[in-house]
A and B are shown apart, each in its own frame.
Chain A
Amino acid sequence: MFAAFLQYLFSGLTSGAIYALAGLGFAIIYNASHVINFAQGEFIMIGGMASATLVAAGVPMPLAIVLALLISMAVGVALEKFAIEPARNADVVTIIIITIGASIFLRGATQIILDKEFHSLPAFSGETPIGVMGATLMPQSLWVFAVAAVMIVGLWWFFNRTMFGKAMLATSHNRLAAQLVGVGVKKVLLASFALSALLGAVGGVVVTPITFTNYEAGIMLGLKGFSAAVLGGLGNGGGAIIGGLIVGIVEALASGYLSSAYKDAIAFVIILFVLFFMPNGLFGKRGTDRV
């Protein structure tokens, strides 16, 4: 009985860590610009697709991964430069709609430039399951946990210990004031897109051996990542991680103990329930509006 529970937990942690990685990217861009970037799932997809295509073409895996990350960052920068920046005076809702358009464009472009097939990457450290008290876990899931943890620490360091990170935070708190004290607001927005594209692509690379990828893979990851980010409190990196793990574990326990047919519904009901009592998510700052 305990072994079964542990297996459900592992299953939930595996999915949850994937959702968490996706949620993290939403949190970063929201932090820097109050924009919810609905093309975040596409960054994950591009990371996965680019690395899988390069590996299939014979490029050694480490090099393929680095190239895939650079490609995704370039796409993120291009997205900001050509779609977001020209609309910088538009309100946030307009920019959000632009990101939805961009996500459809990126999906279509990938479909034409690469292909429509499913792709996979070899697991980083083999495919031998690790047994823990009767339950099993794939080594790749550990990679996903580790990468998520490294990202959280890295982001904490970036936002609290580097000048540029602090400038980004300042811009998110008060754009005008930040500009007045000499922060290059334009550069900050550009960097935030590059950073979240990088985060998305890293996520895409580590989850591809588990979930596979194709040009549409970003839709589901984006949706689940967004739920994770909202549940954890938009703009809070740690919150997105915890939100993702909660969504994943609830889904796994629901399909284990209740019914697999309703697991998605159960996860969404819990999110709605939390948001009903805590509209800013579990770890979100309470928003105050000056009247």
Chain B
Amino acid sequence: MRNLVKWGATAMVCAGVVALAGQASAAEPIKIGAFLSATGPASFLGEPEKKTLEMYVEKMNKAGGVMGRKLELVVYDDGGAGDKASTFAKRLIESDKVDVLIGGSTTGTTMAAVPLVERAGIPFISLAGGVNIVEPVKKWVFKTPHTDRMAAEKVFGDMKKKGISKIALISEDAGFGKSGHDQSMLVVKNYGIEIVADEVYSPKDPDVTAQLTKIKNTPGVQAVFNFGFGQGPAIVTKNFKQLGMTVPLYQSHGVASKDYIKLAGEAAEGVRLPAAGLVVPDQLAATDPQKPVVTAFKKEYEAAFKSDVSTFAGHAYDGLQIFLAAAARAGSVDKEKVRDEIEKTSGYVGTGGLVSMTATDHMGLSLSAFHMVEIRKGDWVLSD
């Protein structure tokens, strides 16, 4: 008897599922899978990215969806850990059966998912900065943010313009700073600049005056370039001021958020760094094609979350838009077709800059995507 009930129930559930599936196939939603570092040390990247994706998916669904289909977003939080990222990527591909993968807030979590993605054959748009994500080119892997190499090139270009030829590099001895350091070493010679002092600090060091004193006492240093994110660059900036150093201080795009100015306070005055147009939307020239895009994005984000927009939120926005545009061009979410269309993205104006991808360039940004900004009176001032 009991068995009978069990079987009956199972049969009914099955019938229900079949019926539901039949109903859904009429306008099945487009499934977007994301694994982001919404908590953990990289949460300052993952959290705004997650909020951005959620906000825009909801907004587009209210407006009737895309190609007559609703969007469905599945987000997992990998906490910044590579092993979790690859588990979640696997789950998104195999059990959630998503049509596209967005994410990997950090280079580490992205690279952990790359082998899976390449095997499964699914379009994958990364939100991380590392140049090795798209170099060498991987068939299914794309990315939206600028690379650390571009940041270094932009800074060195600015130094060259100012006639600076001998500099000191001080970088964080982990992740972002380390990769930035290596990329800087790689491209610095192209600009005729010599690195005469090369110092590092640990991500949580309370004081770096020792390293800076060494730089100060190195003869011939004309500028200091700091590569890192989090509180490190703010401590470097404060210690730099404390030691009364007068050469120009350059930071990387890793500090392009108001938090840095808040933490470093007055010491941040005069610091120069490369940043996307998103941090200075009002100061962009009226003819700049990016101006309307970044102005609108900044307004929508800040109205929705009551917090300053960051470039990281912009990366997620760009990723989502690039995918949706490609799907619209392909007329379906067929993985192979969408992949081909993403690769053909051309002249897309995003928050990060003008994106034109090719078979050999899966990022599609050029150096012009960066602007040099200077910090004056606690705010960014465009200073190309």
Contact of A261 with B200 in the complex, beta carbons under 8 Å: yes
Number of interface residues, chain A, beta carbon within 8 A: 36
A6-14, A88-96, A178-186, A193-201 - interface stretch: A6-14
Contact of A207 with B211 in the complex, beta carbons under 8 Å: no
A60 on the B face (CB < 8 A): no
Contact of A212 with B39 in the complex, beta carbons under 8 Å: no
Which residues from 1 to 28 on chain A have a C-beta closer than 8 Å to any C-beta of chain B?
A: 4, 7-8, 10-12, 14-15, 18
A85 on the B face (CB < 8 A): no
Contact of A4 with B39 in the complex, beta carbons under 8 Å: no
B379 on the A face (CB < 8 A): no
A39–B221 CA distance with the chains assembled, in angstroms: 43
Residue in B44, B173, B204, B208 with the greatest tally of chain A CB atoms within 10 Å: B204
What is the number of contacts between chain A and chain B, taking CB atoms within 8 Å? 95
Contact of B242 with A138 in the complex, beta carbons under 8 Å: yes
A68–B372 CA distance with the chains assembled, in angstroms: 40
A47–B177 CA distance with the chains assembled, in angstroms: 29
A7–B210 CA distance with the chains assembled, in angstroms: 7
- Minimum CB–CB distance from A217 to chain B (whole Å) comes to 7
Chain B residues with Cβ below 8 Å from A111 are 39, 43
- Minimum CB–CB distance from B43 to chain A (whole Å) comes to 5
B202 on the A face (CB < 8 A): yes
A253–B124 CA distance with the chains assembled, in angstroms: 47
A70-78, A114-122, A147-155 - interface stretch: A114-122
A45–B199 CA distance with the chains assembled, in angstroms: 28
B47 on the A face (CB < 8 A): yes
Chain B residues with Cβ below 8 Å from A138 are 242
B205 on the A face (CB < 8 A): yes
Contact of B39 with A214 in the complex, beta carbons under 8 Å: no
Contact of B200 (CB < 8 Å), options: A120, A220, A260: A260
Knowing A7-B210, A256-B214, say if A116 contacts B47 (CB, 8 Å): yes
Which residues from 98 to 140 on chain A have a C-beta closer than 8 Å to any C-beta of chain B?
A: 111, 116-118, 120, 127, 129, 136, 138
Residue in A117, A217, A260 with the greatest tally of chain B CB atoms within 10 Å: A260
A253–B214 CA distance with the chains assembled, in angstroms: 11
Task: Give 18 pairs: A residue, B residue, CB < 8 Å, sorted on A.
Answer: A7-B209, A7-B213, A12-B210, A116-B47, A117-B259, A118-B259, A120-B262, A120-B265, A127-B267, A136-B243, A211-B206, A212-B231, A217-B204, A220-B204, A252-B210, A255-B201, A255-B214, A256-B214
Nearest 7 pairs between A and B by C-beta? Answer: A220-B204, A211-B206, A11-B209, A11-B210, A252-B210, A212-B231, A7-B213
Other than the given A10-B209, A212-B231, 19 more pairs (CB < 8 A) read A7-B210, A11-B210, A11-B213, A14-B209, A116-B39, A120-B262, A120-B263, A127-B266, A129-B241, A136-B242, A136-B243, A136-B244, A211-B204, A212-B235, A220-B204, A251-B210, A253-B210, A256-B213, A260-B214
Instruction: Please report B residues at the A interface, Cβ cutoff 8 Å.
Output: 39, 41, 43-44, 47, 173, 199-202, 204-211, 213-214, 217, 230-231, 234-235, 241-244, 259, 262-263, 265-267
